[in-house]
Amino acid sequence: MILSYGTHTPSINPDAWVAEDATICGDVVIGAGSRIMHGARLVAEAGGSLRIGRNCIVLENAAIRATAKHPCKIGDHCVVGPHTHVVGADISDEVFIATGASIFHGAQVGRRSQIRINGIVHLRTRLEPGAVVPIGWIAIGDPAQILSLDQHEAISAQLTPLDFPGFVYGVDRSLPGVMPKITERLSASLGMHRQESQKPSSNA
């Protein structure tokens, strides 16, 4: 499905291809030679922009999202594996993102990096070019520390100053009612989906 979001309609290069059961929504630009496979979801929410470069392969059931505060960009010659989750990140060229990996708001992933199966690049994290996040490990911080899941205390120490509620949602985590504030803001911003209208596909 090719969907508008507000005044924004996706732009798909004639040399790209999008599977019929993929969803492309909002201010999304897809470059020449890119392939968006079955069940993938590319969504630019609430004024955000999402850019997919040339010859990118987005595999089955990947979810790539942009928000108003956090645009998302994937460079040229990248592979985004099945069941991955990328939101509000800046991915450079020739990056390999394996099955089940997650990359969060404000992350910067350097050229020719690899995020292996179920790897995580946390918010506001910067991966140097050529970096590797091993299977199931977490990259966190700027510059990134790459930590295994058994290093819970080190991960927690890095997470607190990154301030997920404040950075992503603009909500002060020290005040009561954090989750109601977050969900009410999301409900308001995502409410535009009620008015979406399906656009003709521009698939090649």
The CATH number covering residue 40 comes to 2.160.10.10
Residue 65 lies in a domain: yes
Residue 148 lies in a domain: yes
What pTM was estimated for this model as a whole? 0.86
Q: How many structural domains compose the chain?
A: 1
Residue 204 lies in a domain: no
Q: Domain limits at 21?
A: 2-199
Residue 182 φ then ψ, to 5°: -65, -50
Residue 47 lies in a domain: yes
One-letter amino acid at 160 equals T
Per-residue pLDDT of the chain (204 residues; tens, 9 = 90+): 899 887 889 999 999 999 999 999 999 999 999 999 999 999 998 779 999 999 999 999 999 999 989 999 999 999 999 999 999 999 999 999 999 999 999 999 999 999 999 999 999 999 999 999 999 999 999 989 999 988 888 888 888 778 777 788 778 877 788 888 888 877 877 776 666 544 444 444
